[in-house]
Amino acid sequence: MAINVIPKDEMILTDTELELDEIELEGQIKPIQQLEPISLRLPDSICGDRLDKVLSKLVPQYSRGRLQQWIEEGYVQVDGHPSKIKTIMLGGENVVIEPQAALEDNAFIAEDIPLNIIFEDDAILVLNKPAGLVVHPGAGNWSGTLLNGLLFHRPALAAVPRAGIVHRLDKDTSGLMVVAKTLTAQTELVRQLQARTVKREYSALVWGTPNASGTVDAAMARHSRDRLKMAVSFSILAKPAITHFQRVSTGMLERFSVSLVACHLETGRTHQIRVHMQSLGFPLVGDTLYGKQHLARFFPRQALQARKLGLIHPVSNLPVEWSIPLEADFIDLLERAGMPLP
């Protein structure tokens, strides 16, 4: 790991894999509150209606689906006994509901997750995110995220929107991220991301042999048929996306040629490097979403790592830069391909 102060005019105007229009600074992380039981005496006017229908009218703050789940799991008592969703109510019954927190309700709680912090001061911290760690809670990943780990290691981040997170890496992409520790620092870092004055360099191993260097200038949008994927698109909804790349070295995995590529992002779109390299015919090794699934045996994730990060410090206003070596599994992959280490 290296930390260098560099001249401002040498910083490359690049960005991250962040969707910039997803940045939200409003609101703070709130502590989880205990949910109190709800006691009801059903009015005679509901006679003849199903239990779930009755409760959806009388307790509108909860969705009918959630109420049905609670009924099925025994968290709704009718006259002291569990009931069924389709049980017909006559009126006059005493109902007690024990609300249960949904997974997303517990998304912003502290969890003891190891973090590899390589730099920290009063304004920012820089960490090396491991592959396999989700950055922010979302559907299917309501716990065990980087955000949860940040709240445990730095509880004061609960006062900063998104626990100071201003950009993200894909779950299976490893590498450098910066986190703001104050609202002022977060606002300034977001401004730099939007202005494209953040330097970010990635190392990627791709199938095939691309040109020695080049630029992909191809707008991107959500894939028209697969909502998990992004794609190069000519849609009016597509957003500009520009990736600069340079081939570093070449090698072979069994009988297949591979190339190590250094990528610099000028814009920040979800999966940008993965989509752009695939659009050229050079998908990332290990990337089963965009690449060659039958070759997944060579690497268990996309071979992509954010290795360099440069920005203007939000307090000192000095340009700073961090760099890290390749991860051990990435090094092993290059060695298997007979390639020199960068």
Average pLDDT in the 96-102 region?
84
Is residue 4 scored above 60 in pLDDT?
no
The pLDDT score that the predictor gives to residue 239 is: 92
Domain boundaries, given as residue ranges, for the chain: 2-29+106-336, 38-100
More confident residue, 203 or 14: 203
Give the least confident one: 29-43, 200-214, 323-337: 29-43
More confident residue, 66 or 123: 123
Average pLDDT in the 277-301 region?
92
Enumerate the active-site residues.
Answer: 170
pLDDT digits (tens, 9 = 90+) for 184-207: 999 999 999 888 899 999 999 999
Asked if 166 and 23 touch (Cβ cutoff 8 Å), the reply is: yes
Residue 178 corresponds to which tokens in the numbers above? Answer: 């910066």
* Percent of the chain scoring above 90 in pLDDT: 69
The pLDDT score that the predictor gives to residue 97 is: 94
Average pLDDT in the 293-319 region?
93
Residue ranges with strand state E in the chain: 2-5, 38-41, 76-78, 81-82, 94-97, 117-120, 124-129, 174-180, 199-207, 213-217, 220-222, 230-232, 242-253, 256-265, 304-312, 319-323
Average pLDDT in the 65-81 region?
92
Asked if 339 and 249 touch (Cβ cutoff 8 Å), the reply is: yes
Per CATH, the homologous superfamily of domain 2-29+106-336 is: Pseudouridine synthase (3.30.2350.10)
The pLDDT score that the predictor gives to residue 34 is: 59
The pLDDT score that the predictor gives to residue 27 is: 44
Is residue 5 scored above 50 in pLDDT?
no
DSSP state of 55: H
Average pLDDT in the 1-20 region?
36
pLDDT tier at 138, thresholds 50, 70, 90: confident
More confident residue, 193 or 1: 193
What distance in Å separates the CA atoms of residue 228 and residue 234, rounded to the nearest whole number? 19
pLDDT tier at 105, thresholds 50, 70, 90: low
**Kindly report the CA angle at 170 between 103 and 318, in degrees rounded to 5?**
110
pLDDT tier at 295, thresholds 50, 70, 90: confident
Q: Mind giving me the DSSP string for 3-46?
A: EEE--GGG---B--S--GGG----S---PPPPPPPEEEE--GGG
Residue type, 105: D
The pLDDT score that the predictor gives to residue 7 is: 35
Is residue 20 scored above 80 in pLDDT?
no
Confidence (pTM): 0.73
Residue 112 Rama label (left phi>0; alpha psi -120 to 50; beta): beta
The pLDDT score that the predictor gives to residue 339 is: 95
What distance in Å separates the CA atoms of residue 174 and residue 148, rounded to the nearest whole number? 18
CATH 3.30.420.40 fits 38-100, yes or no: no
Average pLDDT in the 249-273 region?
93
The pLDDT score that the predictor gives to residue 101 is: 72
The pLDDT score that the predictor gives to residue 324 is: 97
Give the least confident one: 63-77, 94-108, 186-200, 291-305: 94-108
Asked if 241 and 220 touch (Cβ cutoff 8 Å), the reply is: yes
Strand order in the sheet with 94-97: 38-41, 94-97, 76-78, 81-82
Find all residues with CB under 8 Å of 51, minimum gap 6, and list them.
71, 76, 78, 83, 84, 85, 86, 87, 88, 89
Evaluate the CA torsion angle 113, 117, 122, 123 in order and state its sign: negative
pLDDT tier at 141, thresholds 50, 70, 90: confident
Residue 304 corresponds to which tokens in the numbers above? Answer: 């992509």
Is residue 21 scored above 50 in pLDDT?
no
Quick one: which of 180, 220, 232, 176 has its CA closest to 202? Answer: 176
Count CA atoms within 13 Å of residue 69 on its CB side. 9
Asked if 202 and 342 touch (Cβ cutoff 8 Å), the reply is: no
Is residue 6 scored above 60 in pLDDT?
no
What distance in Å separates the CA atoms of residue 77 and residue 167, rounded to the nearest whole number? 45
Is residue 1 scored above 60 in pLDDT?
no
**CATH fold match for the domains 2-29+106-336 and 38-100:** no
The pLDDT score that the predictor gives to residue 106 is: 63
